[in-house]
């Protein structure tokens, strides 16, 4: 298999995956990275098993060559292409989950800051408080933002 132009690192998983999948499909090796029959693995005592192992190791080596050296420790216990593919997939899903958690935390902090500024404004300019209440009533309970803001307001639960 020809190498791909990208070495997988922490910042290019989507591009790497797209290019890698293209090459894998082009070489008709996608069965080796699917969960169906553990990568298409035939029974160990069958005639096809030796051929399967050889093809799997070609793909495994090709995947290994497409990996940035700093990620090698992630796959050191993988023995076949399917394990390699799944370990990398889970690693990047976990990174994405962590990014979403961090963004959620930042959003909550920003919402709290906005609510604090709003409460200060309400204290200084009571006429804006009535406008805010009208907006919240208009948004209704389906607005998650309104629910969060209301839960942060002193004296409400």
Mean pLDDT, the chain cut into blocks of 10 residues (157 residues total): 94 97 95 86 91 96 96 95 97 96 94 89 72 68 56 52
What is the C-alpha separation between 38 and 35, in angstroms, rounded? 5
Task: Tell which residue, 23, 43, 66, 54, has the closest CA to residue 75.
Answer: 66
Q: What is the chain's Cα-based Rg?
A: 26
Q: What is the pLDDT of residue 151?
A: 59
Q: What is the pLDDT of residue 157?
A: 47
Q: Is-contact 4 23, C-beta < 8 A?
A: yes
**Residue partners of 107: CB distance under 8 A and separation at least 6:** none
67 by DSSP, 3-state: which?
Answer: strand
What is the C-alpha separation between 8 and 70, in angstroms, rounded? 9
Q: What is the pLDDT of residue 155?
A: 52
Q: What is the pLDDT of residue 140?
A: 62
**Residue partners of 131: CB distance under 8 A and separation at least 6:** none
- CA dihedral 34→37→40→45, nearest 10 degrees, is 150
Q: What is the pLDDT of residue 7?
A: 96
pTM tops 0.75, yes or no: no
What is the C-alpha separation between 66 and 100, in angstroms, rounded? 27
């Amino acid at each position: 298999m020809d190498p791909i132009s990208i070495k997988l690192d922490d910042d290019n998983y989507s591009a790497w995956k797209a290019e890698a999948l293209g090459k894998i499909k082009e070489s008709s090796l996608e069965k080796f990275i699917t969960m169906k029959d553990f990568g298409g693995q035939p029974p160990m005592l069958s005639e096809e098993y030796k051929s399967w192992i050889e093809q799997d190791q070609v793909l495994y080596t090709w995947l290994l060559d497409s990996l940035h050296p700093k990620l090698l420790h992630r796959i050191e216990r993988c023995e076949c292409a399917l394990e390699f593919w799944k370990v990398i997939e889970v690693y990047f899903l976990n990174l994405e989950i962590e990014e979403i958690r961090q963004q959620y935390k930042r959003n909550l902090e920003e919402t709290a800051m906005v609510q604090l500024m709003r409460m200060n404004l309400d204290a200084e300019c009571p006429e804006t408080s009535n406008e805010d209440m009208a907006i919240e009533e208009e948004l209704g309970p389906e607005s998650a933002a309104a629910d969060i803001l209301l839960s942060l307001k002193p004296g409400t639960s």
